[in-house]
Amino acid sequence: MVKVDKYDFPDDLYYTKDRTWAKIEADGKKVRIGLDAFGVDLAGKLLFIRTRRSGSVLTQGGAFASIETGKWVGQLKSPVSGTVVEVNPILEKKPTAVNEDPYNQGWFMVIETTNLQAELKNLLKGEALVEFTKKDIAERGKKK
């Protein structure tokens, strides 16, 4: 686990500069995605989530969900390209699962990837994640 300021970032995940995460599933082809702890803190308490449906085709950097909070309404960008194969059923009735447990119960969807190895190069991990997050917190996190 990597800790930056008060935020945890599990080591087995990849991250985007848009504060989403990607976890490669055991089969090496599917990726589970969600919003990282700092992104959750920036957004605030989630009131409503609308995700793309199973069967939808996503591109890296394209919208996979829209969220509403007390502070913000906006879209989340996909860390990888592929087809949505599963959507987290918990989020429809309990969007705050993302706030309570962003890396476990609060995941958004599973994607069958189409270009995973190439796209992983565009994501953050390790020291690159730490450095980016420190700057991001300094720039926007303290303004909340």
Burial of 66 (0-12, 13-18, 19+ CB in 10 A): middle
Domain boundaries, the chain: 2-134
Q: How far is CA 105 from CA 1, 21, 60, 131, in A?
A: 18, 14, 23, 27
Positive or negative: CA dihedral 15, 72, 94, 78: negative
What's the pTM? 0.94
Joined tokens for residue 144: 């909340």
2-134: CATH number: 2.40.50.100
Q: How far apart are CA 3 and CA 91, in angstroms?
A: 26
What is the pLDDT at residue 143? 54
Q: Rounded CA gap, 60 and 41, in Å?
A: 23
CA distance 25 to 10: 14
DSSP for 63-78, please give it: EEEEEEESS-EEEEEP
List the pLDDT tens digit at each of the 144 positions of the chain.
999 999 999 999 999 999 999 999 999 999 999 999 999 999 999 999 999 999 999 999 999 999 999 878 999 999 999 999 999 999 999 999 999 999 999 999 999 999 999 999 999 999 999 999 999 999 985 554
The CA-based angle 55-97-91, given to 5 degrees, is 30
